[in-house]
A and B are shown apart, each in its own frame.
Chain A
Amino acid sequence: MSAAKGGARERVPGRGPLPGWVVPGSILLLVAASSQVVFPLWERAWLLFVGVAFVCLVLVVQEVEPRVPMRHRGLYGKALAFGFPVVLLLTWEWLSTSGVLNARWFPPPSQIAVALWELTITYDRFNRTSLIGRPWLLPERLASDGWAGAVALANESHVWATLSRVGFGFAIGAAPGIVIGMVMGLNRTVRMMLDATMSAFYVLPKIAIFPILMLVFANPFGEGPKIAVVAISAFFLVAISTMAGVQGIDEVYLEAGRNFGANRWQMFRHVILPAALPIVFSGLRLALGTALIVIVAVEFVRADRGVGFLIFYNWQVLVTPRMYAALVVVMGLGVLLTSILQLIERRVMPWRRTPDPR
């Protein structure tokens, strides 16, 4: 028993053995903390209280780990990773239903879930929008109005509006970004000519040029400027990382290519492109994150559809559960787009998958 404990403690770097009273003390504190009796007394010091509770939780959980059999450690890790947010949500639920948190500004997660469900199934007559475009009406509309019916349904959807803006903008910006970045990486003259200019644009928050784009496009309130601002944000990020990727290629690969008689095209196809790909993809990931930020900001300012609009509108009319629900949707979109990119990444770079154990 003591040996097992000692072994467990060695796993925590920079910490000596805990005094024996710490764990039972922590459990006591946690129990006391979660009882309604103690909490009101401490209301003003809630931040301190949260900190202490977290430390106690960590101390208790740490003592559990060495008792978990080795073969269940993976499961244990997952349980911690998913259990903690669940605990957070439950705490939030409890805090705002019990009135410690102002439920108007911090509605309990259950209310947010309900709001999300309502948003999904209802049609907003005032804004003439719905969250996902009421796909269950699709067969009916197709029958009555044909494709125009389907398009009308897509057009009323917040999710589709945001997704299409990000999708088109990202594609339109990233593709030339890769090409220009490659050229800049490969050609010294082009690089020296463009580098300063690109860096200048790179530091400019792209949302700042949105007004200019609204001037440029015939319809300032249409999709054009929104897609363009996403495209421009993606372009610079992708171009600059691609350039860095090409420049960072280990000289020895280029020499090996040359030594084995690769011509210019083969050099590009077999050496430069695959060698630069990992950095190109990290640029794409960065650009995707930025594209989401930019589109939400743009939709705050100037849109009658889109998830950003949904957040901002529900702030204006003070329906906070729906505001939070829209946030959840944004998170979902982020996860969705990132995993699509990850899927592409794995397909394009099969050698980057985790190595098989031999």
Chain B
Amino acid sequence: MALKIVSTAAQKRFPTRHGWMTAIERFDLEVEEGEFVCVVGPSGCGKSTFLRILAGLDHVTGGDVRIVPGPDPSQPLNNVVFQEYAVFPWKSVLDNVAFGLEMRGVGRSQRYERARQWLAKVGLTRFEDYYPGQLSGGMKQRVSIARALTNDPQVLLMDEPLGALDAQTRTVLQEELLTIWEESRKTVVYITHSIEEAVFLADRVVIMTAHPGRVKEEFRVDLPRPRDLSTMATPAFAALTGAVWEALRDEVTRAMAAQA
């Protein structure tokens, strides 16, 4: 399969008052076309920084991170589902979802038609005229996901998209996300701090070290698809999460010690 994302020796340093702070260093990662990769790491390990660089919202200070462009130049390279939803409170649900298309100059009827298709898939058809302020957190994040998918990017980047939700809403959305993804098989890079979520969703789980952020270990998740909640009850799932946790534990303790 073709490589979609290539990161070679990526480095990001920030100037601070006490000199340079290295967020990520010698970060190597390759993601194949159509692969769902979850990046897990202790908080502050630079996983969000890496995602922002991928999204073009930030730049590397060394090395190279790029998304290999597809054959269609009009298809956007990436879109982000942000941690804090970042749906625009001043736009209706429909206009939020159609935002990317509007920015690309797609006509009103065409962009609304495509937005409505995605609204239907995330179950928000009834709410297209609502403003985000009238929606719950889970619904807002559905809008945010639909907004990214309507724009049909080559790579979908998700930065702890379910982190702010309660456990039950979270589980429901994980399942919905899987269903949608299994239909489209888009390349996804998904940042999370939940090991269960990572193993449940991903084809591959990448574990990062903290200070500086670097790839520590990778786990291929061979659980059969389509997956659903029953997947979480299998021994294979338990074994994998256990293994991931073993690999992550040292990093978390180290990160906590560094913060203390």
Interface, chain A (partner B; CB < 8 A)? 252-253, 255-263, 266, 270-271, 274-275, 277, 349-352, 355-356, 358
Give residues 17-66 of B contacting A (CB, 8 Å): 55-57
Please, how many angstroms separate the alpha-carbon atoms of A270 and B98 in the complex?
12
Q: Which of chain A's residues have a CB closer than 8 A to the CB of B134?
A: 355-356, 358
Please, how many angstroms separate the alpha-carbon atoms of A253 and B79 in the complex?
14
Q: Tell me if B185 counts as interface (CB < 8 A to partner A).
A: no
Please, how many angstroms separate the alpha-carbon atoms of A342 and B76 in the complex?
41
Please, how many angstroms separate the alpha-carbon atoms of A356 and B80 in the complex?
29
B48 CB to closest chain A CB (Å) equals: 12
Q: Which of chain A's residues have a CB closer than 8 A to the CB of B55?
A: 259
Please, how many angstroms separate the alpha-carbon atoms of A274 and B78 in the complex?
25
Please, how many angstroms separate the alpha-carbon atoms of A262 and B91 in the complex?
15
Inter-subunit contact B56/A259 (CB<8 Å): yes
Please, how many angstroms separate the alpha-carbon atoms of A350 and B227 in the complex?
42
Could you name 21 residue pairs across A and B whose Cβ atoms are closer than 8 Å?
Answer: A252-B82, A252-B84, A255-B80, A256-B80, A259-B55, A259-B78, A260-B99, A260-B100, A260-B103, A260-B151, A261-B104, A262-B103, A263-B103, A266-B103, A270-B102, A274-B90, A274-B91, A275-B88, A349-B90, A351-B132, A352-B133
Please, how many angstroms separate the alpha-carbon atoms of A234 and B57 in the complex?
38
Q: Which of chain B's residues have a CB closer than 8 A to the CB of A352?
A: 133
Instruction: Select which of B86, B89, B100, B147 is within 8 A of A261 by beta carbon.
Output: B100
Inter-subunit contact B79/A277 (CB<8 Å): no
Inter-subunit contact A255/B131 (CB<8 Å): no
Given contacts A349-B90, A355-B133, contact A256 B82 (CB under 8 A): yes
Please, how many angstroms separate the alpha-carbon atoms of A102 and B143 in the complex?
66
B133 CB to closest chain A CB (Å) equals: 6
Q: Which of chain B's residues have a CB closer than 8 A to the CB of A275?
A: 88, 90
B188 CB to closest chain A CB (Å) equals: 15
Please, how many angstroms separate the alpha-carbon atoms of A270 and B132 in the complex?
15
Q: Which of chain A's residues have a CB closer than 8 A to the CB of B91?
A: 270, 274, 351
Q: Which of chain B's residues have a CB closer than 8 A to the CB of A349?
A: 90
Interface of B is mostly: loop
Inter-subunit contact B103/A252 (CB<8 Å): no
Please, how many angstroms separate the alpha-carbon atoms of A350 and B134 in the complex?
12
Please, how many angstroms separate the alpha-carbon atoms of A252 and B89 in the complex?
12
Please, how many angstroms separate the alpha-carbon atoms of A261 and B75 in the complex?
11
Q: Which of chain A's residues have a CB closer than 8 A to the CB of B88?
A: 253, 256, 270-271, 274-275
Q: Which of chain A's residues have a CB closer than 8 A to the CB of B133?
A: 351-352, 355
Instruction: Select which of B79, B130, B131 is within 8 A of A260 by beta carbon.
Output: B79
Which residue of the partner chain A has the closest CB to B134?
Answer: A355
Please, how many angstroms separate the alpha-carbon atoms of A262 and B86 in the complex?
15
B155 CB to closest chain A CB (Å) equals: 12
Inter-subunit contact B82/A255 (CB<8 Å): yes
Inter-subunit contact B56/A351 (CB<8 Å): no
Q: Which of chain B's residues have a CB closer than 8 A to the CB of A256?
A: 80, 82, 86, 88
Give residues 74-113 of B contacting A (CB, 8 Å): 76, 78-80, 82, 84, 86, 88-92, 99-100, 102-104
* Besides A260-B79, A261-B100, 5 other A-B contacts (C-beta < 8 A): A255-B82, A255-B86, A258-B56, A259-B55, A351-B132
Please, how many angstroms separate the alpha-carbon atoms of A251 and B88 in the complex?
12
Please, how many angstroms separate the alpha-carbon atoms of A341 and B172 in the complex?
44
Give residues 130-150 of B contacting A (CB, 8 Å): 130-134, 147
Please, how many angstroms separate the alpha-carbon atoms of A270 and B55 in the complex?
20
Which residue of the partner chain A has the closest CB to B76?
Answer: A261
Q: Which of chain A's residues have a CB closer than 8 A to the CB of B100?
A: 260-261
Please, how many angstroms separate the alpha-carbon atoms of A275 and B90 in the complex?
7
